[in-house]
Structure 1
Amino acid sequence: MVAVAHGSRDPRAAATVAELLGAVRERCPGLPVHASFLDHGPPAPDRVLDGLARDGAEDTVVLPLLLTAAYHSKTDIPGVLNRVRHPRLRLRTAGTLGPHPLLMDALERRLAEAGAEPGDPDTAVVLVSAGSSDASANATIARLAREWRPRGWWDVVPAYASATAPGPAEAVTALLDAGAPRVAVASYFLAPGYFADKVRNAALAAGAAAVSPVLGAAPEVADLIVRRYDEALVASCAATAV
């Protein structure tokens, strides 16, 4: 498996990806798991795949460590794979991690760690993602917020760190003005970095009572990676059979 993360100049991001993939290796002993990054640091996915091909690999799953399907999964990763010229290396591409119920469970785990008990009727939640120029990716976050409301929270609303509105501070302020007794922010980020720090600072300044840590190596995320890997294998076998 070649896992493809966004990449960051913040060294905490690569360390978090390494920890997460370590948890995946524990779940799948014997499965070679390689990290790669689209930006800001090595190794690049095509370099990893070239190395595997030179070592004689014939089959691998490329798995995006991305929380929504947007520009990186729709354009960047296919572009990288188009540069890989090894006819004996068969590539299977897994789906992005999100959306998936396991990510909602991981978000609630992280909120609990920040002091917001899951389903607390006196707590409103702001679900914050990075934001995207891809409207469908932003719509996915809004849908996840709607689907999360029935779990017992006072309310759940979406927000975005960039590209579109509302921002996290705006969303926190709106909930407090609407009468929410307490507002917690759920950080829909895989790894620490600029956006996660920006969201935390803005949300706390606006009056949020808690901001969750990034998803990182939450057990649910590691489980989901294994599931996406298995799904890619099954889908490839089904396509071959047809």
Structure 2
Amino acid sequence: MSQENGRPALLLAGHGSRDPRGAREFHALLELVRARAPDLAVEGGFIELSPPPISEAVNRLADRGAREIAAVPLMLLAAGHAKNDIPATLVREGLRHPGLRFRYGRALGVRPELLALMDERISATVPAEQRDETAVLVVGRGSSDPDANSDLAKIARLFYEGRPYPIVESAYVSLAPPNVPEGLERCRRLGARRVAVFSYFLFTGVLEERIRDQSREFAHTHPEVEVHYAGYLGASGPVADLVLERYREAVEGDIRMNCDVCVHRVALPGFEEKVGAPATPHYHPDEPGHHHHH
């Protein structure tokens, strides 16, 4: 398929997971996007952990005649991967494919559709008559980027607004406090007898499973608190629609990364060394030149 319709191809840039179920969910989302835009060349690849690497997806689009590619980072929040690793990888791909032009879209971000999807998942776990006495703990991946961590706090507050849940707290499963047990303990100390835990993740994986396990452990050691696990966002229609909106914005619109509190531009306390640091491509383990260890 060549690019005779003149529209740039769409490249979905995912993170990758050690859990093959997470990679399968990424591909399921890819299929939902393709079904919604049958005339669009759509491929997806990962930064790390899962095949195929982004470079392979770019090769496939180039082989299909793409001259322009709009890349959308399949990240809920813009942290290091969306701000640094993926753009640097696209620069590298541009050097490998001098005939290709790249555009870069925004991370999915703080969106009402995602809040509505989260509401749907939590509502499926908490009966209507119990909602006004159930706390919600929204758990994010956690980042070394304060901007991304603050976005999760914003999401928790936006979810609280206009909904019946009396307490909505945020926590992180890695890299940032409070962790899951601390978040649950905070809800307990605020008087919650019932807590719904929601993982603010697109797909399952090692970390999503950890949130599930830690929630179960907390419930076991605190029998006075009911803990209900409400799952994660998952490959679904609203997410696929949002990906295509980010694609359209990348192609037609005015893309603005939120740079007001970006560690690469602003000296935030404890992160001063990141200001002006060069962006470096993230080598996928399946690529030549890979020296990245976990």
Give the TM-score normalised by the residue count of structure 2: 0.76
Q: Name the counterpart of 1:6.
A: 15
**Can you list the C-alpha shifts for 1:137-160, whole angstroms capped at 9, x where unaligned?**
101111111122122211111100
Give 1:217's aligned amino acid: A
1:8 aligned counterpart, secondary structure:
coil
| Partner residue, 2:229 | 211
Query: Which deviations, in whole Å up to 9, do the C-alpha atoms of 1:138-188 show, x marking residues without a partner?
Result: 011111111221222111111000111111111112212221231101111
Deviations 1:45-86 (A, max 9, x none): 123213322442111211111010001011110111111122
**Cα–Cα, structure 1 residues 110 and 145, in superposed 2: closer, same or farther, change >3 Å?**
same
Query: Does 2:203 align with 1:191?
Result: yes
1:240 matched residue in structure 2: none
1:147 match = 158
Question: What is the SS of the residue equivalent to 1:74?
Answer: helix
Aligned-partner Cα distance in 2 for 1:117–1:170: 27
**Residue from 51, 57, 67 that aligns with 1:48:** 57
1:21 has 2:30 as partner = yes
Seen in structure 2, the aligned counterparts of structure 1 residues 211 and 235 have a Cα distance that, compared at 3 Å, is: same
Aligned residues of 1:186 and 1:211 also touching (Cα < 8 A): yes
From the superposition, tell whether residues 126 and 116 of structure 1 become closer, same or farther in structure 2 (CA, over 3 Å): farther
For 2:19, give the aligned amino acid: D
Question: How far apart, CA to CA, are the structure 1 residues paired with 2:127 and 2:186?
Answer: 19
- Name the larger-Rg structure: 2
Q: CA deviation at 1:114?
A: 3.1
Q: In 1, are the aligned partners of 2:12 and 2:44 still within 8 Å (CA)?
A: yes
CA contact under 8 A between 1:114 and 1:213: conserved in structure 2?
A: no
What count of residue pairs does the alignment treat as equivalent? Answer: 237
**Structure 2: where are the runs of 5+ without partners?**
1-9, 220-225, 256-294
Aligned mates of 1:93, 1:118 — CA distance in 2: 45
Q: C-alpha separation between the residues in 1 aligned to 2:40 and 2:132?
A: 43
Residue 18 to residue 185, structure 1, CA distance change in 2 (3 Å): same
Residue number in structure 1 paired with 2:288: none
Shift of 1:118: 10
Write the distance in 2 (CA, Å) between the matches of 1:118 and 1:129.
27
Residues 1:88 and 2:88 aligned together: no
Structure 1 residue 117, shift from structure 2 partner: 4.9
Q: Identify, as 1 or 2, the structure richer in helix.
A: 1
Q: SS in structure 1 opposite 2:235?
A: coil
Please tell me whether residue 160 in structure 1 is matched to residue 169 in structure 2: no
Choose the corresponding residue for 2:214, options 181, 184, 202: 202
- TM-score with structure 1 length normalisation? 0.91
Q: Provide the alpha-carbon RMSD of the alignment.
A: 1.9
Moved more, 6-15 or 105-114: 105-114
